[in-house]
Amino acid sequence: MKRSWWRRRQAFAGHRPPTVFAYDLVVIGGGAAGLVASAIAAAVRARVALVERADMGGECLNTGCVPSKALIRCARAAAEARSAVTYGIHHGDVTIDFAAVMAYVRGAITAIAPHDSEERFRSLGVEVVRGDAVVSDPWTVVVGEKRLTARAIIVATGASPKVPDIPGLAASDPLTSDSVWGLTALPARLAIIGGGPIGCELGQAFARLGSQVTIIHAGSHLLEREDDDIAALIGTALAADGVRLVLGQRAERVERSDAGWCVIAGDQRVACDRILVALGRVPRINGFGLDQLGVRLTKSGAPETDDCLRTTIPSIFACGDVTGRQQFTHAAAQQAWAATATALADPIKSFPYDDQVLPWVTYTAPECARVGLSERQATEQHVEVEITRYELAELDRAITEGATTGMVKICSAPGSGKILGVAIVGAHAGETIAEFSLAMKRGLKLKDLISTVHAYPTWAEAARNAALAHQRAHVPQRVIALLGRYFTWRRQRRLGWLLAVTMMLLIAGGVALWWFVL
């Protein structure tokens, strides 16, 4: 959205700014985006107030990233115990103490909570205000009887689980990614509506802990953001852990049964004890006064923002999950930086949010990670790409670990080796993707990964080996043929020294040309 003087004047029509501002910045929401925004502002000695009505740390700490990864760790321990015989380790049957599992999850939250605590942020110079925030005008946030005025306001209110209006669902008291952490007993049968990242992660985790899990997904394959071949690997892994997949069927209604509940999805009837809804999250925007103020919303209900995350009211910014963009903690942090820097530097300078190189990870086993274009996106956007695949079954470290499922899939620009996108399925995919993210951000090509020495044997070698696979597919056969002829002549000592040197210079020139072009 262009910010002309006239449009700014229109946006502020009917509102008069205070003559003096109490703060440089007021941030609404103490989740990932709000905390980063507050810390950045305080670090440059701006006066900042952070308003939070619930637990500090937001969804990521309390109901999202942290508890889910702790649960996944427990589930992995159970799976490793069951497969220990593969490595010559024998023991009795594996039993699950679900209360202890949930205690471990709560312990992880407790251990990380001080990083996001009120005390820590007050020590950084942030004024933490408790209560419900209402934006009353473009420069004022009302919290109870307090009126906080600031040159800029950042809305970082997060998102809430999306719960569809399915007949009978509400009566079943469905779980969501927010409420599942209140479970005190492991569900014997768990039906999950939705086969995206949340559904896949929690579905596999509960299956490994002993639940009979069924994932009901309207799409033809899981993880619809990913290419079919990538998603198929995850589907196979979940099925191997006992997860039943009902694909291409939409949950139509929920009925009470003698033994619990039954989800009707097309011609399928899924009996269960509990239902978990995992259909993503919707922006949390109601109740903050933005609609009364005239902030325009998108079709998804998120505040409409420009490249610098300004809303249609120039003094109000939005960042994090509430924007409806990439709903990841690391994306929220990056958005918070752009919004805060722009808010504090306005009108001198703006800092656009750059999401061109944004990795993400689905923490199934094996993990699924991606950055940049997928093959499907390239086709849809009419971008010509070359596809290189490297199977982890060829990686020595994967073989020694007994974890050979997966691959590295690279989309590159034809003839140049420029990396346009990478998808990885495999153990530690989330760590391996970082090398590709850095390469894309710094404009490095696949040949640069090849020339970087990687320790052996490591998972990181998968990146270099995948780049080598691309290079081998582009070896100029004419140069190879010339090299073969040269070495044949050399062995037979038929060349004079001058002719030999000339031949080597010609061949070296050809190899150098090929290398630098790629």
pLDDT at 517 over 60: no
pLDDT digits (tens, 9 = 90+) for 181-191: 999 999 999 99
Query: Cα 512 vs. chain centroid, distance in angstroms?
Result: 39
pLDDT at residue 6, as a whole number: 53
pLDDT above 90 as % of the chain: 84
CATH fold of 366-472: Enolase-like; domain 1 (3.30.390)
pLDDT at 515 over 60: no
Q: What is the mean pLDDT of the chain?
A: 93
CA angle in degrees (0–180, nearest 5) for 298-328-358: 95
Contacts of 451 (CB under 8 A, 6+ apart): none
pLDDT digits (tens, 9 = 90+) for 405-434: 999 999 999 988 999 999 999 999 999 999
**Among candidates 276, 277, 254, which has minimal Cα distance to 265?**
254
Going through 392-482 in order, the beta strands assigned E by DSSP cover 407-412, 419-426
The residue among 192 and 488 whose pLDDT is bigger is: 192
pLDDT at 495 over 70: no
CA torsion sign for 39, 44, 45, 49 is: negative
pLDDT at residue 372, as a whole number: 97
Asked if residue 157 lies in contact with residue 285, where contact means CB atoms within 8 angstroms, the answer is: yes
End-to-end CA distance of the chain: 39
CA angle in degrees (0–180, nearest 5) for 137-143-146: 90
H or E segment at 247? strand 244-247
DSSP 358: -
pLDDT at residue 2, as a whole number: 46
Task: State the Cα–Cα distance between residues 174 and 180, nearest whole angstrom.
Answer: 9
Segment 115-133 mean pLDDT: 97
Helix axes 197-209, 228-240, angle to 10 degrees: 20
pLDDT at residue 385, as a whole number: 97
Return the CATH superfamily for domain 170-279. FAD/NAD(P)-binding domain (3.50.50.60)
**Among candidates 16, 25, 326, 287, which has minimal Cα distance to 154?**
25
DSSP 64: S
pLDDT at residue 492, as a whole number: 73
pLDDT at residue 415, as a whole number: 86
Residue matched to tokens 């001198």: 348
pLDDT at 113 over 50: yes
Reading the block at residue 122, the tokens are 């007050």
Model confidence at 512, pLDDT cuts 50, 70, 90, reads: low
H or E segment at 362? strand 360-362
pTM above 0.85, yes or no: yes
Domain boundaries, the chain: 5-56+117-160+282-345, 170-279, 366-472, 477-517
For residue 56, the one-letter residue type is M
The residue among 510 and 329 whose pLDDT is bigger is: 329
For residue 2, the one-letter residue type is K
Return the CATH superfamily for domain 5-56+117-160+282-345. FAD/NAD(P)-binding domain (3.50.50.60)
pLDDT at 5 over 60: no
- Give the DSSP per-residue string, 155-220: E---EEE-----TTTGGG--B-TTTGGG--S--SEEEEE--SHHHHHHHHHHHHHT-EEEEEESSS
pLDDT digits (tens, 9 = 90+) for 273-295: 999 999 999 999 999 999 899 89
Least confident of 70-84, 103-117, 345-359, 484-498: 484-498
Asked if residue 434 lies in contact with residue 400, where contact means CB atoms within 8 angstroms, the answer is: no
Fold match, 5-56+117-160+282-345 / 366-472: no
Q: Is 69 helix (H, G, I), strand (E, B) or coil?
A: helix
Sheet holding 419-426, edge to edge: 360-362, 367-372, 419-426, 407-412, 386-391
pLDDT at residue 288, as a whole number: 95
pLDDT digits (tens, 9 = 90+) for 144-155: 999 999 999 999
- Which residue(s) pair with 360 in the sheet? 370
pLDDT at 37 over 70: yes
Segment 493-501 mean pLDDT: 62
Model confidence at 511, pLDDT cuts 50, 70, 90, reads: low
pLDDT digits (tens, 9 = 90+) for 156-178: 999 999 999 999 999 999 999 99
Task: State the Cα–Cα distance between residues 333 and 328, nearest whole angstrom.
Answer: 9
Task: State the Cα–Cα distance between residues 313 and 324, nearest whole angstrom.
Answer: 18
**Among candidates 161, 179, 177, 160, which has minimal Cα distance to 285?**
160
pLDDT at 473 over 50: yes
